[in-house]
Amino acid sequence: MEGRVPGRLPRRPDGVRPPWKDRRILLGVTGGIAAYKSIQLARDFTRLGARVEVVLTESATRFVTPLAFEAVTGGSVYRSLWSVEAAARHLALAGKADLVVVAPATADFVARSAAGRANDLLTTILLATRAPVLLAPAMNDRMWSHEQTRRNTEYLTEVLGYHLAGPISGALAIGEGEGRGRMEEPEYLLLHAGRLLGRSSRWEGRRVLVTAGPTREPLDPVRYLGNRSSGLMGYALAEAAWLRGADVTLITGPSSLVRPLGVKCVEVETAREMEAAVRTKLPGHDLQIFAAAVADFRPGQSAEGKVKRADVEADGGWMVSLVENPDVAVDTRDARREGSVTVGFALETEDLVDRAREKMERKAFDFIVANPAGEKGAGFDSATNRVTVLDRAGGVEELPRAEKWAIAWQLLDRFAGSWAPDDPDE
């Protein structure tokens, strides 16, 4: 799976945001030990602003209680087809869901749903719903690799169009050792669900390239010139474009952030490496976003061995002369597809709008996103940002301060303004 680095998980959600906000998610939980992780999943969906209703199978209740899900979602939890209330409700639940997620999905559940059974509330809902379905299988690795399970999952994905996330490799239940059978982690299930909620005809199949992060320009093998960019704004844009269904490539300088799920990442260090990577990858993209904080200068020479303090003292100091780096956005201009949209960023300390406009024109951007440097809660190294978006037609729009994740989502709407609108039937 692209972007999935074992052992490191994306940040847990800390606020309401699209594409989860106000969407109805029906979370089915079946009887496997991974069911305890689904409580976290239900909680995270709720924190992101989704309205979550939970359906537990009878065997799931042996591992987790309805009360736990009620407590974290504040919503209803259903168990049985045989209560008057649930019987009347199952069609309603199936009809109004934007997405059905089954986590964990046991081998038995996979078999029952592939066979089209409707012998409990959850399988009944699956037959009645027309919402997309995401399954997170969890079982023993031998059960997962068994021909029966293979055939069932193939039928669910190929014929019924269900989506699968996982299982992943790692430790199984106690005594079962290691193998491929673990349920995908809730942090990634959220994102898979997000893409099913966020995708739209306007973005599906679109190719988006994003540059992000700082660059490091070596002084010697251990020291470098760099800047304070965390890469967050670019990563947030790459993730938001992927959540909308785009095919995304991220060219990133060194960053401690977890690589966005599903995004093709090219890791570089220096401005010159970034320029080479962009030149190779850029052709054929519909949208290119230059969010990287590229160093404009690099040391004229990088020492081969570590520069020693005594040598510097003997020389009376360490004089570094800087030479110009390529301008990644400008120097790769000829590789942009005609008719594609190009976006730049500008971090300015004064005359924000005028300087950004001049930069947009000089670098042939269609949009430029200007952020104030040195302001608390905006720009570099900050979780939030306050941006002004300028376009070639003379438009100037200031977006209120918000989390970079939320800003990224809003920005993409502006950039895609000239693309065909979403299919009204969606």
For residue 254, give both structure tokens: 């060194």
- Alpha helices, DSSP H only, in 299-403? 309-315, 328-331, 352-362
Catalytic positions, please? 227
For residue 157, give both structure tokens: 């994905």
**Cα–Cα distance measured from residue 99 to residue 185, given in angstroms and rounded to the nearest whole number:** 18
CB of 347 to ligand CTP, least distance (A): 5
Binding site for ligand CTP (CB under 6 A): 211, 271, 290, 292, 294, 296, 325, 327-329, 344-347, 359, 363
Cα Rg of the chain (Å, integer): 25
For residue 299, give both structure tokens: 């040391």
State how far Cα 406 lies from the chain centre.
12
Alpha-carbon torsion, ordered 349, 353, 359, 360, to 10 deg: 140
**CA angle, 75 then 78 then 80, to 5°:** 170
**Cα–Cα distance measured from residue 171 to residue 182, given in angstroms and rounded to the nearest whole number:** 7
For residue 129, give both structure tokens: 């719903």
Residue 237 makes CB contacts below 8 A (sequence gap 6+) with 210, 212, 289, 291, 408, 411, 412
What is the enclosing helix (H) or strand (E) of 389? strand 388-391
**Cα–Cα distance measured from residue 272 to residue 288, given in angstroms and rounded to the nearest whole number:** 18
Q: Decide the pairing of beta strands 178-182 and 168-171.
A: antiparallel
Burial annotation 345-365 (CB, 10 A radius, 16+ → b, else e): bbbbeeebeebbbebbeebeb
CB of 296 to ligand CTP, least distance (A): 5
Residue keyed to tokens 């401005």: 271
Whole-angstrom CA distances from 97 to 54, 166, 364 are 11, 22, 44
Whole-angstrom CA distances from 341 to 265, 353, 412, 417 are 21, 20, 11, 10
CB of 120 to ligand CTP, least distance (A): 54
CB of 269 to ligand CTP, least distance (A): 14
Question: By the 8 A CB rule, do 289 and 237 touch?
Answer: yes
- When the beta carbons of 25 and 328 are compared against ligand CTP, the nearer one is 328
Number of helices and strands in the chain (H, E): 14, 22
